[in-house]
Amino acid sequence: MIIRYDSKIDALYIELAKGKYYSTRKIIDAILVNEDRKVKVLGIEILDATENINALNPSKTKVSIQTS
């Protein structure tokens, strides 16, 4: 998984899998899901990220992964 933030357009992209892009499904105006031909999710894009993710402060955000 790779998480990218583009400050120029205030968008956060979470790449969940490698694959050949086929289509984008709009969940709501600010959340888009990219899929391959088999409808496998490749990534999730969040537009206006600093407005739509309360905890997102690009200069101070830390990512932690918890496993059980």
Q: Where are the domains of the chain?
A: 2-51
- Tokens 């059980």, residue? 68
Separation between Cα atoms, residue 43 and residue 61, nearest integer Å: 20
pLDDT given at position 12: 93
pLDDT of 49 > 70? The answer is: yes
pLDDT given at position 34: 98
pLDDT given at position 59: 75
What the block records as the tokens of 28 is: 């709501």
Separation between Cα atoms, residue 6 and residue 37, nearest integer Å: 26
pLDDT of 4 > 70? The answer is: yes
- Confirm whether pTM is higher than 0.75: yes
pLDDT of 23 > 80? The answer is: yes
E strand or H helix at 43, and its extent? Answer: strand 41-46
